[in-house]
Amino acid sequence: MRTRIIHLINPKTDSLTTRPLYLNRALYSPLAGLLAVAASIPSDQYEVVLTDENIETIDFNLKADLVGISAMTSYVNRGYEIADQFRSQGVPVSWAVCTPASCRRKRSSIVMLSLPAKSSS
C-alpha cells in the first residue's frame, strides 16, 4: 500500500515586508505554522513533504493526497495560483493560515490547529 502524502507549501514572496533585505541578502525563516502542522502529523501514517517556494521550486507532479498552503496577505495570490494548479489535478487543498473570507473560493477546507502545551518532564 502506498504511503499517503501531505504536501505543505509556503508560497514565494517578493515582498520586502515579509522578506527584508540585509546586505543585499534576503533574511528569511520558514513559517512556524507549517512546521507545527508538519510536526503534528503522525509519521507512521503519512509522508510529509514541506516546500518553501522561496528556497526551492514546487513539484506539481508530486502525487499528493492533500496540499496545505500557508500564506500571508501580501503573497496570498501566489497561494491561489498554487491551489488552482493542484485542484485542477483533483488534489484537495487546505489553507493552514489564511483569513477565511479571503480564501473561501480557493480551498477545500480551512484548518485551525490548536496544540496542547508540551509537558516538561
CATH number at residue 71: 3.40.50.280
The answer to whether residue 118 is domain-embedded is no
Written as nine digits, the cell of 100 is: 477565511
What one-character DSSP code corresponds to residue 78? H
What one-character DSSP code corresponds to residue 120? P
pLDDT in tens, 36-85: 888 989 988 899 999 988 889 999 999 999 999 888 777 888 988 999 99
Residue-level pLDDT at 77: 85
Q: Is the dihedral of CA 83, 109, 70, 38 positive or negative?
A: negative
pLDDT in tens, 5-37: 999 999 988 765 555 555 665 555 556 778 888
* Residue 113 pLDDT exceeds 50: no
The residues with which 47 forms a beta bridge, in sequence order, are: 5
The dihedrals phi and psi of 82, each to the nearest 5 degrees, come to: -65, -45
Residue predicted with more confidence, 17 or 115: 17
Residues 6+ apart with CB under 8 A from 81: 11
Residue-level pLDDT at 115: 44
Domain count, the chain: 1
Residue-level pLDDT at 73: 73
Q: What is the extent of the structural domain holding 52?
A: 4-110
Q: What is the pTM of this model?
A: 0.73
